[in-house]
Structure 1
Amino acid sequence: MTRAEAKERNRRALLDAAFEVVSRDGYRARLEEIAERADLTTGAVYSLFGSKSGLVVALVADYLRPHYEEIEQAAPAGSDLLEVVDAFARYYRRSCDAPNALAGLSLQITLLDMALHDRELGDRLATSVRAQETHLVALFTGRLHNGRVVTPYQARRLATALRALFVGLSQGVVLGLAPDADEQYFADTARALASEVTLIDHDGDASEARGSE
């Protein structure tokens, strides 16, 4: 095994161990237990991630990245905005039935708890989530909607709104609070949100362009 392969193996082992421990303990998660589960030392954590916060931020990116990549693959080529939103909604609903859905919800809750206890970590987590969300913004940008092309500004606003919608709905599904929220419900709700004029037709594009000059 090469040094690069060993490094990636150790990185993967620490991320998998961190998912289990952080999902359970949140900000109380101990590096010693994470390292022990990965059959490594705490020195490996500092070497690969810099700190406990660095490991947590990497964990979030590692957890979100495959979801956005799979969403990109699920979107039909040449589709308009609402068709892409529909595919996104159905994918998100199916993820609620995945074997690790409850663990994923636990991770969301504990990460929020960690962010509330550590402002610096909260800022880093928010930056990480926004970075992963750029995949979704790119997926929406340039799509046709009501005879117009969706701009990056509009796509970002829509991505933020959809993320909030789906996080809330998926939590309800996993906790048994939304028993009737099937794929069609997710799709219908998302389409209604995406069709809202205030999200798509907004004069912020011009102000954003001026701000970047």
Structure 2
Amino acid sequence: MTRAETKERNRRALLDAAFRLVSRDGYRARLDEIAESAGLTTGAVYSLFGSKNGLVVALVADRLEVDYEEVERAIPAEADLLEAVDAFARHHRRGCDAPDARVALSLQLVLLDMALRDPELGSRLASSVREQEARLAAMFTGRSHEGAVVTSERARRLATVLRALVTGLGQGVMLGLAEGADERYFADAARALASTTSLVEHGATAPGEEGT
């Protein structure tokens, strides 16, 4: 095995161990236990990620990378905006039934707790989420909608509100707070967002206000 292959194997082992233990223990997750679970030492963590926070940020980026790769495959290239939004929402509803959905929800909640406890970590996590969210905005940019083409700025705002929507609805499904929220429910809610205020330019003149 080459040095690069060994490095990637160790990186993967630490990310997988961090997923298990951070999901379970949150901010109390110990670096030495994560390293031991991966069959490595804490030195490997510092070498590959710089710190415990670096490992947590990399864990989030890793999870988001997989999710957005799946989203890219779920959205047809030729779809218009509403069709793309529909496919995005349905993909996330199906994720609520995945075998590791509850573990993923636990990770979401403990990461929020960690971010609130540690502003530096929170800032780094926010940057990582925004970076990946830009990929979703790129998936919507240029698609047709109501006789026009979606601009990058509109796509960015839409990506933000859609992420918030499916995250909140997904949590509701798994906590028993969104009874009847099936794929159609997710898709209808997402389409409604894409058809209204999320695509209105900030500062634009509302209908009937011209010349006022």
Partner of 2:188: 188
1:162 aligns with 2:150: no
Query: How far off is 1:135 after superposition?
Result: 1.2
Query: What's the secondary structure of 2:186's corresponding residue?
Result: helix
Q: Give the 5 Å matches for 1:170-209.
A: 170-196=170-196, 198-203=197-202
Partner of 2:21: 21
Report the AA paired with residue 174 of structure 2.
Answer: V
1:119-146 per-position Cα deviation (integer Å, ceiling 9, x unaligned): 0000000000011111101000011111
Query: How far off is 1:204 after superposition?
Result: 6.0
Q: Give the 5 Å matches for 1:45-56.
A: 45-56=45-56
Whether the 8 Å CA contact 1:69–1:135 is kept in 2: the answer is no
Instruction: Point out 4+ residue stretches in structure 1 off by more than 3 angstroms.
Output: none
**TM-score normalised by structure 1 residue count:** 0.94
Tell me how far apart the structure 2 counterparts of residues 17 and 66 of structure 1 sit (CA, whole Å).
17
Query: How far off is 1:54 after superposition?
Result: 0.3
Tell me how far apart the structure 2 counterparts of residues 203 and 57 of structure 1 sit (CA, whole Å).
32
- Which has the higher mean CA deviation after the structures are superposed, 62-71 or 48-57? 62-71
Whether the 8 Å CA contact 1:85–1:191 is kept in 2: the answer is yes
Query: How far off is 1:156 after superposition?
Result: 0.7
Tell me how far apart the structure 1 counterparts of residues 57 and 203 of structure 2 sit (CA, whole Å).
30
- Which has the higher mean CA deviation after the structures are superposed, 52-61 or 170-179? 170-179
Report the AA paired with residue 104 of structure 2.
Answer: G
1:50-94 per-position Cα deviation (integer Å, ceiling 9, x unaligned): 000000000000011111111111111211100000000000000
Query: How far off is 1:203 after superposition?
Result: 4.0
Q: Give the 5 Å matches for 1:27-176.
A: 27-176=27-176
Report the AA paired with residue 12 of structure 1.
Answer: R
Tell me how far apart the structure 1 counterparts of residues 98 and 202 of structure 2 sit (CA, whole Å).
40
Give percent identity, aligned residues only: 72
Query: What's the secondary structure of 2:198's corresponding residue?
Result: helix
Give 5+ residue unaligned stretches, structure 1.
Answer: 206-213
Q: Alpha carbon RMSD of aligned pairs, Å?
A: 1.1
Query: What's the secondary structure of 1:39's corresponding residue?
Result: coil
**TM-score normalised by structure 2 residue count:** 0.94
Tell me how far apart the structure 2 counterparts of residues 111 and 38 of structure 1 sit (CA, whole Å).
20
Query: What's the secondary structure of 2:71's corresponding residue?
Result: helix
Tell me how far apart the structure 2 counterparts of residues 152 and 185 of structure 1 sit (CA, whole Å).
27
Report the AA paired with residue 128 of structure 1.
Answer: S
Query: What's the secondary structure of 2:176's corresponding residue?
Result: coil
Tell me how far apart the structure 1 counterparts of residues 121 and 59 of structure 2 sit (CA, whole Å).
13
Query: How far off is 1:201 after superposition?
Result: 2.6
Give 5+ residue unaligned stretches, structure 2.
Answer: 205-212
Tell me how far apart the structure 2 counterparts of residues 195 and 165 of structure 1 sit (CA, whole Å).
14
